[in-house]
Chain A
Amino acid sequence: MAKQKPVLNVAFIGHVDAGKSTTVGRLLYDSGAIDPQLLEKLKREAQERGKAGFEFAYVMDNLKEERERGVTIDVAHKKFETQKYEVTIVDCPGHRDFIKNMITGASQADAAVLVVDVNDAKTGIQPQTREHMFLARTLGIKQIAVAINKMDTVNYSQEEYEKMKKMLSEQLLKVLGYNPDQIDFIPTASLKGDNVVKRSENMPWYKGPTLVEALDKFQPPEKPTNLPLRIPIQDVYSITGVGTVPVGRVETGILRPGDKVVFEPAGVSGEVKSIEMHHEQIPQAEPGDNIGFNVRGVSKKDIKRGDVCGHPDNPPTVAEEFTAQIVVLQHPTAITVGYTPVFHAHTAQVACTFIELLKKLDPRTGQVIEENPQFLKTGDAAIVKIKPTKPMVIENVREIPQLGRFAIRDMGMTIAAGMAIDVKAKNK
């Protein structure tokens, strides 16, 4: 029995018009991820309906119809295999109000592919591209590849490709702390299929990997087992015959039966008696595991959703205040000192006040363009100081990235997203 390939979660990000979804579709189509019988049927239908040469578009449209008939239950996933990995794709929505889900949700991408339109070299980097890249940085994604797409619309010009690569490297990637020398920039034409899975014959000047080959160059995801234990609590149950059972997903560290644990900001401690996942007892829980664990010495009324479980020798950090780097995604007016929206971090939702606007950053270069700005508006990037209105766990994003990021919500909108870069603790 052959060993199963490791799973790699890849987020596809970028402006909606860059051809992101077409690139995803092309990956699935050319890599053979679509059921061969279904594919054969759809290809035959395409020819019968005079759509020979447009099989790709016909198949993609019909897969959507298949989904509407409920053919496959796990429709949120798009999966295919490379030589090295079983790849799961997340094609990221562009709308800001879905960003909260990606920041606070359980799904974490191990790598990202930025899809850009080569023609943006003439008009500048799209705002949504910037937002998605900032988001990828906020989510702690270190491994990225760039697909410079729609090369067919510039006659597969190397000159246009180089312009776009230079613009992205200098105005976006370096600013966010990525090293362009370690990134593959793949010239693609997804609609035609160039350099996605199949090497293009139209760009002999390009010697690098295809997109699928670039995915295989990514390192396998590492579980953050070496970090301190952090389990954001989703719910707490009192179960007959068992006792108190908190439920949550292990973000970092390892939990074992017999461990002494502390819950913050509740400030209560107990001992873990047993851990279950999928109704089976497990000897230890690791990052990514969705678990319930029976804890003695803590009652259901002591802890709640939003609390974080850790070990007493390194308890979760309860913030007195914290300094954060944010990007303002949308705000009807402006953010000023005193503004108190709701911060969504891990399973916690706490109203927090902007107590100081420290620096406004140039989104293009990351340079400080204004000290102590009076206000922030849509599109601004900034360093700010935040004070929670009630106790809240948040970690320095450089130390425990999984608990250092947040979305800011108000008026039913996602106002901003960011990460904590310095935390002044109440409990340490």
Chain B
Amino acid sequence: MATVLAKIKIMPTSPEVNKEKLKEKIKEVLEKQDVAIRGLFDEPLAFGLYAIYTVIEMEEREGGTEPIENALAEIDEVESVETVEVSLA
């Protein structure tokens, strides 16, 4: 079974969202999925908004990144989730 790295972009609902607390919630959600967290960082975007990125390592399995995207999208302070890169490890 091959290993895949995926970089996921998570947008908060507003610039007022505390990005450190949001990162903690993201980490909690990811730890319940069958993935390893290889990176979790933020990047300034526009007008006070930040994008949060996580790099995860997962098996190359059915469903792909969608179950993880769906789980992250359930967080209250998350506006949207998008996988921006995938590559074999």
Task: Name A's B-contacting residues (CB within 8 A).
Answer: 16, 20-21, 64, 67-68, 70, 73-78, 89-95, 97-98, 100-102, 105-107, 234-235, 237, 239, 242, 245, 247, 275-279, 290-294, 305, 347, 409, 412-414
Q: Is the interface of B mostly helix, strand, loop or mixed?
A: strand
Q: B60 touches which one: A95, A247, A412 (CB < 8 A)?
A: A95
Identify the closest chain B residue to A291 (Cβ).
B46
Listed by A's residue number, 13 A-B pairs whose Cβ atoms lie within 8 Å are: A74-B39, A74-B55, A75-B39, A75-B55, A76-B5, A76-B55, A90-B85, A90-B86, A93-B4, A97-B66, A101-B64, A279-B45, A291-B46
- Residues on the B chain within 8 Å of A237, using CB: 14-15, 47, 49, 79
- Residues on the A chain within 8 Å of B61, using CB: 95, 97
Identify the closest chain A residue to B15 (Cβ).
A239
Cβ B62 vs Cβ A107 within 8 A: no
Give the CA-CA distance A73 to B89 in the complex, in Å. 13
Q: Is the interface of A mostly helix, strand, loop or mixed?
A: mixed
Give the CA-CA distance A275 to B36 in the complex, in Å. 36
Task: Name B's A-contacting residues (CB within 8 A).
Answer: 2, 4-7, 9, 11, 14-15, 36, 38-39, 41, 43-49, 51, 55, 57, 60-67, 79-80, 82-89
Cβ A92 vs Cβ B88 within 8 A: yes
Q: When A67-B38, A90-B87, A237-B14 are in contact, do A276 and B47 touch as well, CB less than 8 Å?
A: yes
Interface centre among B65, B66, B88 (most CB of A within 10 A): B88
- Residues on the A chain within 8 Å of B9, using CB: 106
Q: A234 touches which one: B38, B60, B63, B82 (CB < 8 A)?
A: B82
Identify the closest chain B residue to A294 (Cβ).
B47
- Residues on the A chain within 8 Å of B46, using CB: 245, 247, 275-277, 279, 291-293
Identify the closest chain B residue to A276 (Cβ).
B46
Identify the closest chain B residue to A279 (Cβ).
B44
- Residues on the A chain within 8 Å of B65, using CB: 98, 101
Cβ A98 vs Cβ B15 within 8 A: no
Give the CA-CA distance A378 to B66 in the complex, in Å. 21
Chain A: minimal CB distance from B62 (Å): 6
Q: When A74-B55, A76-B55, A279-B48 are in contact, do A412 and B87 touch as well, CB less than 8 Å?
A: no
Give the CA-CA distance A64 to B62 in the complex, in Å. 23
Cβ B47 vs Cβ A414 within 8 A: no
Q: When A93-B88, A413-B62 are in contact, do A101 and B83 touch as well, CB less than 8 Å?
A: yes
Q: B2 touches which one: A16, A64, A277, A292 (CB < 8 A)?
A: A16
